[in-house]
Chain A
Amino acid sequence: MAGMARAATTADAFNAVAEPRRRQILDVLAGGERPVNDLVRALGLAQPQVSKHLRVLREVGAVDVREEGRQRLYRLNGKALKPIHDWVKDYELTWSERFEQLDVVLEDLKQKEEGHGSGE
């Protein structure tokens, strides 16, 4: 039961990136596929901690893993992070549309000013 509760709170892209170390892992993986050892070095953390973070990222699908010989190679799966992208984009879109309307209003104001100001 405890395990299930934990899964429920972590199986969400937003939670996965809420932790700075996990964002750091994603940043490193954005540069390409990496073995765990590289991540351990890049983050300066002990391997068990890195593995713990990787497990959370894997649960939400933000990283994929494959085995090659004795190495486990991790790579970024951006699709799993799309909810975050959509979340921010939606808000940004409203403001962008609002500001595009404002551009039109400002253009009108500028034209009126030019009309009035020509005889100064």
Chain B
Amino acid sequence: MAVASSGTATVTLPTDEQILITREFDAPKDLVFKAWTTPELVKRWWTAKRGEATVAEIDLRVGGAWRYAMVTPDGVEVAFRGEYREIVPNERIVSTEFYEGVPEGVSEEDATTVNTATFTEKDGRTTVTILVQAPNKETRDAIVDSGMEAGLQDALDLLEEVAISLA
């Protein structure tokens, strides 16, 4: 029986417009894909325990729409939506993603990312990578956090050392 890992996801910033998230799962890729694309299963994990999942709509075909929403404990709805651009079952999903709560005056076009999720299996374990391609650096930074001026491609390497020096 496998034990759920408590290891962290790896997040890196390969270019100024990208975010790359990687994580390995102790399950074959058809199951990971199923958990990734089945509404009632998505509702169980997507909120990251930060609220109650209220919507998980998935029209899994090219051009089909998706929308996820949750309500945080203080009553705020947090919702994302997009459409599917490419679907290779158990292998790869390319979809757009737009956060519905972007500040007024930010166009949907400017705030929409293209996300490529790939599922690779080895020895019964699956590595999921999600490459988030933002249209510009501002959006990328806003996604990660605060829109501070940051050219951080290599900063993660540095963080290891920072973490050590903080200890």
Which residues of A are interface residues toward B (Cβ below 8 A)? 9, 12, 14-15, 17-20, 23, 26-27, 30, 76-79, 81-82, 84-85, 87-88, 90-107, 109-110, 113
Contact = CB atoms under 8 A, between A and B. Distances in A.
B65 interface: no
Interface stretch (B1-9, B54-62, B92-100, B113-121): B1-9
A97 B165 CA distance: 26
B161 A30 contact: yes
Given A18-B151, A98-B45, A101-B48, A110 B27 contact: yes
A79 B166 contact: yes
Most-contacted residue by chain A among B19, B144, B146, B150 (CB, 10 A): B150
B158 A27 contact: yes
A104 B31 CA distance: 12
B9 A92 contact: yes
B27 A78 contact: no
A12 B149 contact: yes
B102 interface: no
Contact of B155 (A23, A91, A95, A113): A23
A26 B164 CA distance: 13
23 contacts: A14-B149, A19-B151, A23-B154, A27-B157, A76-B165, A77-B165, A81-B162, A82-B166, A84-B162, A85-B163, A87-B145, A88-B155, A95-B21, A95-B48, A97-B48, A97-B49, A98-B46, A101-B48, A102-B35, A103-B5, A103-B26, A107-B27, A110-B31
A43 B28 CA distance: 46
B161 A27 contact: yes
Contacts, number: 142
A118 B93 CA distance: 31
A92 B11 contact: yes
Nearest to B21: A95
A101 B45 contact: yes
Contacts of A97: 48-50
Contacts of B26: 103, 106
A15 to B, nearest CB: 6
Contact of A99 (B9, B41, B146, B154): B9
Interface string B12-56: 000000010101011100011011000001001111111000000
A95 B47 CA distance: 10
Given A79-B166, A81-B158, A94-B50, A87 B9 contact: no
A30 B160 CA distance: 10
Given A30-B165, A97-B49, A105-B44, A84 B155 contact: yes
